[in-house]
């Protein structure tokens, strides 16, 4: 079963520096479990015991949090090769702090935390490399969360949108790019109202600063966009 997903796993950051045969050799030590989910299935609920780290094999999932009023905040959207649950796992929280939902039909490979942290049954260098890779991944996640907090601090919706679009340009190096979420998810990510956000995007487009179609954006006037935030 795992052999079928080796091309996906070999592109996952957790296995950087390892060949497909190396990954296959590690599987008896980890004993991962693959699970399939239908669209809108809840994969993990807040408070559920956490004993594993997930890797998305196919499809798309969203990690989200709801407050007491039912307002939803998107933590992140993940697709094939993406890892989720590693931060609370290594923090030894012991439970899932956020809800994980399937955006589409998907399959997830779960790696037991204890198997990851304990010495490899073969005492191999590959396991040490996995730990180093995971430390790097967790550090990157911390940087991303820091960026997310910076959006939440911005009060003006126009400033939030400008900051987000400029950051996407910096990440992709291209003035035309696809954002990794739909309009509703973007509104949740920025913690704003979707209708108000759509109106503001329309105004910025009418000013000739940007153009967009669904999740594709083009920055037409970078100077004007930068001046908005």
Cα of 144 vs its chain's centroid, Å: 10
Position of tokens 């040490």? 128
- pLDDT reading at 176 higher than 70: yes
Which CATH code fits 155-227? 1.10.10.10
The predicted structure's pLDDT at residue 32: 93
Which CATH code fits 2-151? 2.60.120.10
Q: How far is CA 35 from CA 6, 83, 95, in A?
A: 16, 15, 19
Helix axes 125-153, 157-172, angle to 10 degrees: 150
pLDDT tens digits, one per residue of 19-41 = 999 999 888 888 999 999 999 99
**Stretch(es) of the chain classified as CATH 2.60.120.10:** 2-151
Cα(194)–Cα(221) distance, integer angstroms: 24
Which sign does the torsion angle of CA 108, 14, 16, 167 carry?
Answer: positive
- Residues forming a β-bridge with 178: 216
- pLDDT reading at 122 higher than 70: no
**Stretch(es) of the chain classified as CATH 1.10.10.10:** 155-227
Instruction: Identify the band that residue 9 occupies on the pLDDT scale cut at 50, 70 and 90.
Output: very high
The per-residue b/e assignment along 30-66, b for 16 or more CB within 10 angstroms, e otherwise, is bebeeeebeeeeebbeeeeebebbbbbbebbbbbbee
145 Cβ contact partners less than 8 Å away, ≥ 6 residues apart: none
């Amino acid at each position: 079963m795992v052999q079928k997903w080796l091309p996906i796993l070999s592109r996952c950051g957790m296995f950087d520096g390892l060949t497909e045969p190396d990954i296959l050799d590690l599987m008896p030590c980890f004993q991962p479990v693959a699970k399939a989910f239908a669209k809108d299935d809840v994969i993990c609920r807040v408070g559920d015991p956490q004993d594993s780290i997930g890797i998305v094999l196919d499809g798309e999932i969203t990690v989200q949090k709801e407050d007491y009023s039912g307002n939803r905040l998107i933590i992140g959207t993940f697709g094939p090769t993406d890892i989720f649950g590693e931060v609370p796992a290594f923090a030894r929280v012991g439970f899932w702090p956020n809800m994980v939902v399937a955006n589409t039909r998907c399959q997830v490979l779960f790696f037991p935390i204890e198997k990851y942290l304990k010495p490899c049954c073969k005492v191999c260098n590959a396991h040490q490399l996995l730990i180093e890779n995971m430390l790097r991944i967790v550090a990157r996640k911390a940087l991303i969360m820091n960026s997310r907090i910076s959006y939440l601090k911005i009060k003006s919706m126009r400033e939030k949108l400008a900051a987000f679009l400029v950051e996407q340009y910096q990440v992709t190096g291209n003035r035309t790019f696809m954002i990794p979420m739909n309009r509703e998810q973007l509104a949740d990510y920025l913690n704003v109202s979707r209708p108000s956000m759509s109106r503001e995007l329309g105004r910025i487009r009418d000013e000739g600063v940007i153009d967009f179609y669904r999740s594709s954006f083009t920055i037409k006037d970078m100077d004007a966009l930068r001046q908005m935030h």
